[in-house]
Amino acid sequence: MAARPIAEGLFTWPGDDPSLIGGCCRDCGSYTFPIRTGCPACGGTALQERLLERTGALWTWTSQGFAPKAPFTGTFFATDPFEPWFVGVIELDGQLRLESLLVGCTQDTLRIGMPMRLVLMPFATTAGGDEIVTFAFTPAGSYHAAGIRPGADQEAASA
C-alpha cells in the first residue's frame, strides 16, 4: 500500500513538515490557493509558486453533518453511526484565507480566532489499496492530531 497526495502541486510531498503551495502575483503581490493561471485581484498572468504560511487563525468553521454527494470521495469518517466532521476557513497572516478540513477538534473546542497549524491526514483508500492523503488544519495546541502524518492510521484522523 502506497500513500499519495490527493492532487499534485497542492502541498510539498513527501516530508514530515508539509507546506501548501500557493501562487503569488508578480504584478500586485496578491496570493491565491491553489495557484491559478490568472490573478483574482488584478488579472495578471505572472503567478509564481510560493509556499504558504503553515500556521494561521481560524476565521470561521462549520460542521459537516452529512456525507456529501459525488464528487466527494472521502472514507476517513465514521459511518456507523455517522460522525460529523469539521471544515473551516483559515486566515494565513498577510497572505489569504483558505478552506480546509479541520481535525483534532470538536464543536465545543473550536473558537473563531484560535491558532491553527497545517497537518496531513489520510483521507481515503482506493480500490487498489492506495492511501490518499490530504491537507488539513488542526488547533495549534492540539496533541490529537500530532500523530497525523502520511501513512498514519485512520483512527488518528477521526480522533
Partner 1 sequence: MPEVAIIGTGLHPFGRFPGKTALAMGAEAARSALADAGLTWADMQFAVGGSYEVDQPDAVVSDLGLTGVQFTNVYNGCATAGSALALASQLIRLGEYEIGLVLGMDKHDPGAFTAAPDEYGCPPWYGELGLFLTTKFFGMKINRYMHDHGITRDTLAAVAAKNYYNGSLNPFAYRRKPLSPAEILDSRMLNYPLTQYMFCSPDEGAAAVVVCSAAVARRYTDQPVYLRAVQTRTRRFGAFEVHSPSAAPSHLQVPAPTADAAAAAFERAGIGPADVGIAQLQDTDAGAEVIHLAECGLCRDGEQNELVAAGATGLSGRLPVNTDGGLIANGEPVGASGLRQVHELVMQMRGRAGQRQVPARPAVGLAQLYGAPGVAAVSILST
The footprint of partner 1 (CB under 8 A) covers 6-7, 10, 22, 30-34, 40-41, 59-74, 84, 87-89, 91, 94-99, 101, 107, 112, 123-124, 134
Q: Name the nearest CA neighbour of 105 among 97, 96, 116.
A: 116
By beta-carbon proximity to partner 1, the closer residue of 95 and 142 is 95
Q: Which is nearer to partner 1, 31 or 142 (CB)?
A: 31
Min CB(80)–partner 1 separation in Å: 17
Secondary structure letter of residue 6 according to DSSP? S
Smallest distance, partner 1 to C-beta of residue 25, A: 11
Quote the CA–CA distance of 158 and 121 in Å, as a whole number. 10
Q: Supply φ then ψ for residue 91, to 5 degrees.
A: -95, 120
CA separation for the pair 110, 133 (Å, rounded): 23
- Shortest distance (Å) from residue 149 CB to partner 1: 19
Nearest approach in angstroms of CB 33 to partner 1 is 4
> Which set of grid coordinates corresponds to residue 121?
491526514
Cell numbers for 54, please give them. 503553515
